[in-house]
Homo-oligomer: A and B are copies of this chain.
């Protein structure tokens, strides 16, 4: 029996096929694509080993020949959507390029709303992740700061993109999944917040709430956050 048990292993380090025995029926890409298809259609919770196997048309346990743990399936999924990133030719304007990268990541997340929920748990540097990092570094070539600072900029931007977009998606999905209407939910929330505000314990918070009129433009907030971070790394603004 194959030792599929505990072995210090990044799935990307394990060769895709081994040569001996029957030909594998699927590639990793097949499996990743099936999982992505399910996640897009039914959400991340729809991605079960049984469902993925059914989508592929094979027995549940056969999957474990390709993916030692479910966690590794997630890794495959993240790598798969990483291929959607357009690795454009750097323009020479590092700010514009990084904005474009961020905006594209955001778009990918809106296309695959399960990505933000998966990101924090993914650690193996998948091929497409490495390609993306390399691409970002290429975009940052004109920026005259140490390499370590560039890495920090990339990490900070990616983190903000994930956090902001993930929050928006989670809020949207929350209202969608509920058996009651969004208005109803909002009414209950507002009633609660109103009752809290009425206690007078949160004067500044109350002022902040009442001051702002109309709905928040999430995209604008997102853009401002990005710009601010770019400002903070821009030597020309110091």
Contacts and interface: CB of A to CB of B under 8 A. Distances in A.
Interface string A64-106: 0000000000000000000000000000000000000000000
Interface string A138-181: 10010000011011100010011011101100110010001110
Interface in A4-55: 6-10, 12-13
A124 B207 CA distance: 20
A39 to B, nearest CB: 17
Q: Interface range on chain A: under 10, 10 to 19, 20 to 34, or 35 or more? A: 35 or more
Contacts of A160: 156, 159-160
A160 B158 CA distance: 11
A150 B212 CA distance: 12
| Chain A to chain B: the 6 pairs with minimum beta-carbon distance, closest first | A228-B232, A137-B204, A13-B192, A159-B163, A6-B179, A8-B180
Interface of A: 6-10, 12-13, 116-117, 120-121, 123-125, 127, 130-131, 133-134, 137-138, 141, 147-148, 150-152, 156, 159-160, 162-164, 166-167, 170-171, 174, 178-180, 184-185, 187-189, 191-193, 195-196, 201-205, 207-208, 211-212, 221, 224-225, 228-229, 231-233
